[in-house]
Amino acid sequence: AAGGRRHLISEINSTISAKALIGPWRMNGTLRFDGMRTDVSASTGKLEADGQMRLRLKADPDAYPLIIETDGNAGIVKGAADNSRQLKISGADRNSAELRGNDGEPVKISTGKPDPGFRLNGKFA
Protein backbone atom coordinates (compact mmCIF):
# COMPACT_ATOMS: atom_id res chain seq x y z
CA ALA A 1 0.00 0.00 0.00
CA ALA A 2 1.10 3.58 -0.54
CA GLY A 3 1.35 4.23 3.21
CA GLY A 4 3.55 1.19 3.78
CA ARG A 5 0.78 -0.82 5.46
CA ARG A 6 0.04 -4.38 4.46
CA HIS A 7 -3.33 -6.08 4.71
CA LEU A 8 -4.23 -9.76 4.52
CA ILE A 9 -7.38 -11.01 2.79
CA SER A 10 -8.00 -14.69 3.59
CA GLU A 11 -10.69 -17.38 3.86
CA ILE A 12 -12.45 -16.15 0.73
CA ASN A 13 -15.72 -18.05 0.27
CA SER A 14 -17.91 -16.70 -2.51
CA THR A 15 -20.20 -17.42 -5.41
CA ILE A 16 -19.30 -15.65 -8.65
CA SER A 17 -21.36 -15.59 -11.83
CA ALA A 18 -21.21 -13.81 -15.17
CA LYS A 19 -23.18 -13.90 -18.39
CA ALA A 20 -19.98 -13.28 -20.39
CA LEU A 21 -16.30 -12.59 -19.65
CA ILE A 22 -16.89 -8.88 -20.33
CA GLY A 23 -19.67 -8.81 -17.73
CA PRO A 24 -21.89 -8.18 -16.03
CA TRP A 25 -20.45 -10.05 -13.01
CA ARG A 26 -22.00 -10.78 -9.60
CA MET A 27 -20.24 -11.94 -6.45
CA ASN A 28 -21.60 -12.69 -2.96
CA GLY A 29 -19.72 -14.24 -0.08
CA THR A 30 -17.52 -13.80 2.96
CA LEU A 31 -13.85 -13.21 3.61
CA ARG A 32 -11.51 -12.19 6.40
CA PHE A 33 -9.83 -8.79 6.10
CA ASP A 34 -6.91 -8.70 8.55
CA GLY A 35 -8.66 -11.53 10.41
CA MET A 36 -12.02 -9.76 10.60
CA ARG A 37 -14.94 -11.72 9.05
CA THR A 38 -16.82 -9.61 6.52
CA ASP A 39 -19.83 -10.24 4.28
CA VAL A 40 -19.06 -8.91 0.80
CA SER A 41 -20.89 -8.43 -2.47
CA ALA A 42 -19.89 -6.95 -5.80
CA SER A 43 -21.54 -6.37 -9.13
CA THR A 44 -20.32 -4.91 -12.39
CA GLY A 45 -21.70 -3.71 -15.66
CA LYS A 46 -20.23 -4.71 -19.01
CA LEU A 47 -16.75 -3.58 -20.02
CA GLU A 48 -17.25 -0.52 -22.21
CA ALA A 49 -15.26 0.33 -25.34
CA ASP A 50 -13.44 3.12 -23.44
CA GLY A 51 -12.14 0.58 -20.87
CA GLN A 52 -14.54 1.68 -18.12
CA MET A 53 -16.75 -0.68 -16.13
CA ARG A 54 -19.46 0.10 -13.62
CA LEU A 55 -18.48 -1.39 -10.25
CA ARG A 56 -20.52 -1.65 -7.05
CA LEU A 57 -18.95 -3.02 -3.84
CA LYS A 58 -20.50 -3.65 -0.43
CA ALA A 59 -18.78 -4.78 2.79
CA ASP A 60 -20.49 -5.59 6.10
CA PRO A 61 -17.84 -6.39 8.76
CA ASP A 62 -19.06 -8.53 11.66
CA ALA A 63 -16.95 -6.60 14.19
CA TYR A 64 -18.45 -3.16 13.48
CA PRO A 65 -22.09 -2.02 13.18
CA LEU A 66 -21.64 -0.44 9.77
CA ILE A 67 -21.98 -1.12 6.06
CA ILE A 68 -19.52 0.30 3.52
CA GLU A 69 -20.69 0.72 -0.09
CA THR A 70 -19.11 2.19 -3.22
CA ASP A 71 -20.67 2.64 -6.63
CA GLY A 72 -19.19 4.14 -9.77
CA ASN A 73 -16.91 3.56 -12.74
CA ALA A 74 -13.48 1.95 -12.71
CA GLY A 75 -10.96 1.33 -15.46
CA ILE A 76 -7.44 1.86 -16.75
CA VAL A 77 -6.69 5.09 -18.64
CA LYS A 78 -3.19 5.66 -20.08
CA GLY A 79 -1.80 2.87 -17.87
CA ALA A 80 -3.18 4.29 -14.61
CA ALA A 81 -6.22 3.39 -12.53
CA ASP A 82 -9.17 5.68 -13.17
CA ASN A 83 -11.76 5.49 -10.44
CA SER A 84 -14.74 7.81 -9.97
CA ARG A 85 -17.29 6.66 -7.43
CA GLN A 86 -19.67 7.40 -4.60
CA LEU A 87 -18.81 6.23 -1.09
CA LYS A 88 -21.45 5.51 1.55
CA ILE A 89 -20.90 4.35 5.12
CA SER A 90 -24.02 3.74 7.19
CA GLY A 91 -24.90 2.23 10.54
CA ALA A 92 -26.14 -1.36 10.69
CA ASP A 93 -28.54 -2.27 13.50
CA ARG A 94 -27.02 -5.40 15.05
CA ASN A 95 -29.76 -5.56 17.73
CA SER A 96 -32.50 -6.71 15.37
CA ALA A 97 -33.09 -9.34 12.74
CA GLU A 98 -35.71 -10.05 10.12
CA LEU A 99 -37.32 -13.49 10.14
CA ARG A 100 -40.18 -15.03 8.16
CA GLY A 101 -43.47 -15.54 9.96
CA ASN A 102 -45.84 -18.49 9.48
CA ASP A 103 -47.51 -16.62 6.63
CA GLY A 104 -44.16 -16.12 4.84
CA GLU A 105 -44.12 -12.38 5.51
CA PRO A 106 -41.02 -10.78 7.09
CA VAL A 107 -41.17 -10.08 10.84
CA LYS A 108 -38.60 -7.83 12.52
CA ILE A 109 -37.49 -8.86 16.00
CA SER A 110 -35.33 -6.81 18.34
CA THR A 111 -33.17 -7.67 21.34
CA GLY A 112 -33.00 -4.14 22.63
CA LYS A 113 -32.69 -0.53 21.64
CA PRO A 114 -31.62 -0.05 18.00
CA ASP A 115 -28.05 1.08 17.40
CA PRO A 116 -27.89 4.81 16.65
CA GLY A 117 -28.06 5.45 12.94
CA PHE A 118 -25.28 7.32 11.22
CA ARG A 119 -24.41 7.99 7.58
CA LEU A 120 -21.47 9.31 5.64
CA ASN A 121 -21.81 10.02 1.93
CA GLY A 122 -19.19 11.38 -0.42
CA LYS A 123 -17.62 11.20 -3.83
CA PHE A 124 -14.06 10.56 -4.77
CA ALA A 125 -12.33 10.61 -8.13
Cis before 61 (ω within 30): no
Q: What angle do CA 120, 76, 23 make, to 5 degrees?
A: 80
State if pTM tops 0.85.
no
Read off the pLDDT of residues 98-121 as tens digits, 9 standing for 90 and up. Answer: 777 778 777 776 666 655 566 677
Q: Are strands 9-18 and 25-33 parallel, antiparallel or unpaired?
A: antiparallel
- Whether residue 95 is predicted with pLDDT greater than 70 in this model: the reply is no
